[in-house]
Structure 1
Amino acid sequence: MNKVPSKYGVTREDYSEFVKKLNAIIWDEDIEAAEFDAKWEEIGREHTVNNIDWFKEMYAKKNQWVMAHCRDLDMGGVMRTTQRSESENCFFKRFESKLGTLVEFSLRFDSAMDQQRHTQKKLDNGNKHTSPQISTHLAIEVHGAQVYSHKVFEEFQEEVKYSIDTCKSRGFSEGDSLEVTTVRDANRDRNYHVTYCPVTFKATCSCRMLERKGILCWHVIWIYSSNGLKTIPYGCVVNRWCKDAIRSKMFDCNGEAAEDVDIIDGKQIAMSVMWSEIHQTVGMLIGKCKADVDNFSSLIREFKEKLSPLRSPLNKQ
């Protein structure tokens, strides 16, 4: 986009109008691929750029840079072609000197890393010992404040607030244990289709915000709230946005640092899956009769009693 002025010509009378139209379709996260193609053709025809080689070449590479054609790419909404290198360059330029020696470079590099670690610890401390302000009555927002880092929670909180003010149901269908709701987004003047499974609590939206950014959109949040969910379901929380995203040192059963991390990792994964299944089962009991709740509690107590003899030698020691 930085090359558009030189390729199109800033002296043309319709330059401002052309750039405005181009930005409107390129950075629109809700526009469909077919809709983008049609509007690109229309803009090119109105401003006579369809025959310019550079614009034809960029359109041929649309899958690499246009938002509408990258919607199905996991976490594609947070990535840019040169994002990683440019971010590092910008950071280290504050410490380096072109005239410095190799020894000075080493010292400056250590200083840069120390600052990164200091900033990381400061953010971790803030996430651990402070709580963001809650702005709605929804319990799912409280859960988001507990799991997300403060920075990511700000974005999630905006989605929660929008879910209250802008979403309305415009249709509903049910089949194969799935519920499909057409949600009207008054803010964007669009309809979105949310597919929800009452058993697994998994929901997908046609806007694909969770897939693109790893954060629930307000359309899905509205569906969750309508169904009485008070927490973000397992699998909808991307680990990289959590407060405890940085991996900690692993310890074995004796409290010592584990050398065989793969074994510990396998157990941790199994434990996570187990907790997820328990959470989903408890959620499925909502609305069920008391007998079902008692049966599930009985199964847990029975297995607990089976584990007790295994623990008794340790307890005696």
Structure 2
Amino acid sequence: MFIGHFKMLAEIKGFYFAYDKDENKCLTKIIWADKEGINNYKLYGDTILFYPTYGTNKYFMVFTLFTGVNHNKKTVTFAAGLLEFESQESFEWIFTKFLEAMGQHQPQCIITDQCPGIKKACPNIFKNSVHKYYMWHIMQKVPEKVGRAICNDTNFMTDINVIVWDVDLEPEEFEQLENRCLMRTTQRSESSNSYFKRFESHFGTLVEFWMRYNSAIEQQRHSQRQMDTTNEHSMLEKVGPMKVEMHASLVYTHPIFADFQKEVKHAICSMRVGGLTTQGIVEYHDVRAGLKHRNFRVEFFIQTNESKCACKLFERRGIVCGHILWVWNGRQVYKIPEPYVLARWTKKSYRPIVQDETGKVIEDIDEADIKKAEMSKVWSEIYANVRVMDMVKQMKQLQKTLK
């Protein structure tokens, strides 16, 4: 029934699925991606997060998600799947099928946990992608490396997190602070570090699981449409005198514009000139910032407004740093140069022109898809209510038996 339902969905243009069975014809692997998920990957698939969870159904298959971050800084789902085993072979299979669904377009970066099977499979399939680990997963291993006693000290964990997450530290500063933190006297604390825990649910059939998954996806996409409406029909207030801020408010979504405004405030409140030299068409600005009055070198190309900063915020997050904004303001750059407005962060990024293999334009979501989604949500709610009614009947029968 589960596979039959997917075959029916495959008849709807744009839905992809693949599966595999063992010698007993039992399902061992399956992956699926609908049209909207595939289109989202074209927009936001530069970095993907692959995350396996456990015990999602009574068959104890591993549930896997391929997700990313959209223009509103929210999680967006590209594809999902189920695996019987966490083996290298299983992960290579699902990675291969994922790329097949996404037109063989590899992401720039894939982020995973440190599962041995994933670690071996990633370089074999994502050959053009950088493989990184979740930061929280790395920090989980701190107790194993430095000892439980010192990690039970809340002050130690606070200090080490400040050091690790400070992106402005130079390598020498990082090593000095790390050594100072590790050498300090250990103090006991009643509080302990808490980490992310997975919650398991073993009672669902695959059909029940699919209905819950579909309902969750529709809720995710409904929230997305609401945020897009807000982006289109409202604007956030300016926080400073920089004219470039007005341009940013027109092109960026609200969450990204809020991040941009933080850099504006940073430029206005904590930056000053540290020095200026000119070599031909390039100006080198030393911008002093923060309480430490740290110098950041900004290269500004006079003819093109091209700018590069030593902090590399734009390279990391795709928005211009306050150091560059400070230079732009002084050089009367009132509009963000086109290379510095990444399409993935703009209000219009969710309305791409999508083409199939022949070059024919495909609409993102037609009216039929919306109606199907609404009906799916209705049936999900009906099914949930039926289950509640069954449970009530069982409780009443139990009460009669006890009497």
TM-score, scaled to structure 2:
0.48
Whether 1:260 aligns to 2:359 is: yes
SS at match of 1:195: strand
What is the CA distance between 1:98 and its match in structure 2? 2.8
2:298 partner SS: strand
The letter of the residue matching 2:241 is: H
Deviation digits for residues 6-46 of structure 1 (CA, Å, limit 9, x no counterpart): 543454599455434422321111011233234434555x3
What is residue 334 of structure 2 aligned with on the other side?
230
Q: Give the whole-Å Cα distance in 1 for the aligned partners of 2:221 and 2:168.
A: 37
CA distance in 1, matches of 2:213, 2:161: 39
Code of the aligned partner of 1:175: Q
Aligned partner of 1:125 in structure 2 is: 229
Alignment map for 1:49-68 (pairs within 5 Å): none
Asked if the contact 2:319–2:341 (Cα under 8 Å) also holds between the matched residues in 1, the reply is: yes
Output the CA distance in 2 between the equivalents of 1:13 and 1:178.
Answer: 49
SS at match of 2:349: coil
Question: What SS class does the counterpart of residue 180 from structure 1 fall into?
Answer: strand
- In the alignment, is the contact (CA less than 8 A) between 1:8 and 1:15 conserved in 2? no
Q: Which amino acid aligns with 2:348?
A: D
Check 1:13–1:222 CA distance in 2 against 1; reply closer, same or farther (3 A cut).
closer
- Residue 4 of structure 1 aligns with which residue? 142
How far is the alpha carbon of 1:97 from its aligned partner? 5.0
Which amino acid in structure 2 is aligned with residue 109 of structure 1? Answer: Y
Q: Secondary structure at the match of 1:207?
A: coil
For residues 73-222 of structure 1, the aligned pairs below 5 Å read: 97-222=201-326
The letter of the residue matching 1:31 is L
1:37 to 172, 175, 190: 175
Partner of residue 13, structure 2: none
SS for the counterpart of 1:228 is: coil
Cα-to-partner distance string for 1:85-141 (whole Å, 9 max, x where unaligned): x9xx98xx8xx9531222212222221221122111111111111111112222111
Q: How far apart, CA to CA, are the structure 2 residues paired with 1:99 and 1:141?
A: 52
- Residue type at the aligned position of 1:195: E
* 1:235 partner SS: helix
Please give the alpha-carbon distance, in whole angstroms, between the structure 1 residues aligned to 2:213 and 2:353.
Answer: 25
1:259-308, Cα deviation, whole Å (9 max, x unpaired): 5159xxxxxxxxxxxxxxxxxxxxxxxxxxxxxxxxxxxxxxxxxxxxxx
Distance 1:188 1:234, change over 3 A: farther
**What is the distance in 1 between the residues matched to 2:346 and 2:320?**
14
Letter paired with 1:34: E
Q: Which stretch shifts more, 127-136 or 103-112?
A: 103-112
Higher helix share: 1
Structure 1 runs not aligned, ≥5 long: 50-85, 252-256, 263-317
SS at match of 1:23: helix
Residue 26 of structure 1 is matched in structure 2 by 164
Distance 1:102 1:12 in 2: 44
- TM-score normalised according to structure 1 size: 0.59
Distance 1:13 1:223 in 2: 43
**Percentage of identical aligned residues:** 33
The answer on whether the counterparts of 1:166 and 1:186 sit within 8 Å (CA) in structure 2 is: yes
Q: Which has the higher strand share?
A: 2
- Tell me how far 1:207 sits from its aligned partner: 0.9
Deviations, residues 222-253 of structure 1 (Å, cap 9, x unaligned): 000101111111111122211112243459xx
